[in-house]
A and B are shown apart, each in its own frame.
Chain A
């Protein structure tokens, strides 16, 4: 079930009520309910996925205890290796097997040695890329002695399967989330209300922004040869907004739901489209994944130590892996490579940590320089999204060849004014609320109850008024 469905609208209030009224006496009761609710939530997609989730959770649970229970470095490494090979092996076989086989065959055929291997008809378990990374970070942190292993299986399974963030993140660190399962959650009215507001904001982004863009994006990308370059520009722009609205909207809902249950999840997006350069963008986009790669790939590879060449190599590897994480397709790998190409010049010029301060702090509007930098960064990111969205590399290059033709200077045949208007309202709200956690954080305005309710009801009505045709969440496919 997805967050914006009727089933979830029935499921969550029941869970909320049971959690805070019936199962609230001890932390064990709370965790037990969360495990049951999370397994029900996940099993609703497909009950066959449950076995895999529980199996990997238990292997990592025992692996961590084994690692912490011995001082023998080799045994610790064996424990870690078991956990990593299981998680990565699952990902490789379920997500990447067909990709490797197809490319293997293509390579052999290219060299005149064709052979046939059957592709597998595999159903990719929802959220596997997210929860395997989450549990890998757990065992790695235990191995590095940053964290004591969990000695109680229920809180650990609750941590892995926690339904607000199970299927599309944020990819939580055990050092941040696991301790929260170790103490009894106490209801906080202000946090709960803020959680509701954040859920509403997330729904707004998903229903009114992302889904509205999706209709035009699907048409333009599926039929790019029929449209002018200017229309393809509109398509790329709308996809940039769609993926942001979709994914950050989901993250907002996940954070809001967690607040209602007394949990604090990490922020996954920090207004990435207001970034002044690519480095800043990657500090603000899908923060949980980029920080994961930084801590568990970039730093172990040596990070920025070992000279410029090694640093460039490490950064490139991280971006390629990040692309590959998204899916078994060359389009994602090329997308990662393009972002590496954007990032490396900043690295070489030592300008990858220049914009650390909040943008236009204490100012209503950005200055000309900041605005130009934002627009340029957005255009670069938008271009890379073409590869991310296209079905094949051929389509992506085809799209670009039409985009950069002379028809780019003609009037677009698709220019959805209503959608663009809502995008403007959305971005303006995010800009004005850039120092808040989310766009509907209106507490500082100190409005009366009825004025606040009027705002919420208006948002809900506008979603009903002009919502797009419901689409799946983009990141569920990863």
Chain B
């Protein structure tokens, strides 16, 4: 009876394992932004002068093609500073002649840790596609199927294999280059600002350490660093917590003062950007990104 049970369980495990295997292979074969960016790093990192890191505000907001020099946008949605540092170090290894680092610090980013957020399923993208080895024993961070958010890649599977859609939303240089319709900024702004208004002291400490690490590395390599807070719409910034805004700005100012060749550009409340420049309350659309990127380029050109 025990042997029969073990046999049945083994058969069931084999069936399950086979299904998982095919799902895993099928999902890994779908092109995705992380794989595209890793391929760029692999082939072109050596030629890169300007590296952009950050979360979705940078991914949507800074167009490398509008910057003078060879720029690459290594930002991704919900990317926390830990992965910014990881990608910075990775690119730097291949491109010791990197000249500029554009480091995005936004209102929610210092209290954000990808591991603790609802989007922690993205961690497997760093492990699988960028070969991040920070979690060697966590199976869920090395598997498309076992990371607990299978509906995300499954919908990608349906989109890719059944509908034939191209899931890539990044240009060759890592910028989000798809036009999306604008959302209701007023509604979106208030909701998003509330969601972003969390102060997590522990996350803050850890993230500041990552920032400091990146600044120290940049200093060692004689790089110029632009700490940027990209533009946001009035509907968003009018609902931000003033104490948290001030705390972020004070930190960035003090970092810029403490490190040579480091500047802080705060464009969160910039009046040069109107509602037409945003696709949602805190993300620039392609037009707004072009405008912002050209502003950054002028700053960098004047800085030389």
Interface residues of A (CB under 8 A from B): 6, 17, 20-21, 24, 187-189, 192-193, 196, 207, 215, 219, 222-223, 226, 413, 453, 456-457, 460-461, 463-470
Contacts and interface: CB of A to CB of B under 8 A. Distances in A.
Given A189-B5, A223-B198, A466 B16 contact: no
B2 A20 contact: yes
Interface of B: 1-2, 4-6, 9, 12, 15-16, 19, 116, 118, 120, 137, 139-140, 145-146, 148-151, 154, 191, 194, 197-198
A469 B118 CA distance: 7
A406 B194 CA distance: 20
A21 B118 contact: no
A207 B147 CA distance: 12
A456 to B, nearest CB: 7
A6 B2 contact: no
A465 B4 contact: no
B19 A226 contact: no
B19 A457 contact: yes
B6 A17 contact: yes
Contacts of A457: 15-16, 19
Contacts of B1: 187-189
B144 to A, nearest CB: 10
A24 B2 CA distance: 11
Given A6-B139, A457-B19, 20 more contacts: A6-B137, A24-B2, A187-B1, A187-B2, A193-B5, A207-B148, A222-B198, A226-B194, A226-B197, A413-B191, A413-B194, A457-B15, A460-B16, A461-B150, A465-B149, A465-B151, A466-B149, A467-B148, A467-B149, A469-B120
B265 to A, nearest CB: 29
Nearest to B144: A464
A465 B154 contact: yes
Nearest to A6: B139
A267 B239 CA distance: 50
Nearest to B150: A465
A134 to B, nearest CB: 29
B2 A196 contact: no
A464 B194 contact: no
Contacts of A187: 1-2, 5
Nearest to A9: B139
A189 B8 CA distance: 11
A470 B9 contact: no
A422 B137 CA distance: 29
B201 to A, nearest CB: 11
Which 10 A-B pairs give the minimum distances between C-beta atoms?
A467-B148, A465-B150, A20-B2, A464-B150, A189-B1, A187-B2, A465-B151, A187-B1, A192-B5, A6-B139
Contacts of B5: 187, 189, 192-193
B148 A468 contact: yes
Nearest to B137: A6
Contacts of B194: 226, 413
B12 A464 contact: no
A21 B2 contact: yes
B148 to A, nearest CB: 4
B241 to A, nearest CB: 9
26 contacts: A21-B2, A188-B1, A189-B1, A189-B4, A189-B5, A192-B5, A207-B148, A215-B118, A219-B198, A453-B12, A457-B16, A460-B16, A464-B145, A464-B148, A465-B149, A465-B151, A465-B154, A466-B149, A466-B150, A467-B148, A467-B149, A468-B148, A469-B116, A469-B118, A469-B120, A470-B140
Contacts of B137: 6
A215 B118 CA distance: 7
A478 to B, nearest CB: 23
Contacts of A21: 2
A33 to B, nearest CB: 14
A196 B19 contact: no
Contact of A470 (B15, B148, B191): B148
A467 B6 CA distance: 28
A456 B116 CA distance: 29
Contacts of B4: 189
A228 to B, nearest CB: 10
Nearest to A227: B194
Contacts of A463: 148
Nearest to A7: B137
B157 to A, nearest CB: 12
A455 to B, nearest CB: 12
A463 B137 CA distance: 20
Nearest to B120: A469
Contacts of B148: 207, 463-464, 466-470
Contacts of A6: 137, 139
Nearest to A207: B148
Contacts of A17: 6
A461 B146 CA distance: 9
A464 B194 CA distance: 30
B171 to A, nearest CB: 31
A231 B1 CA distance: 53
Nearest to B151: A465
Contacts of A468: 148
A448 B120 CA distance: 38
Nearest to B13: A13
A469 B124 CA distance: 13
Nearest to B9: A196
Nearest to B152: A465
Nearest to B146: A464
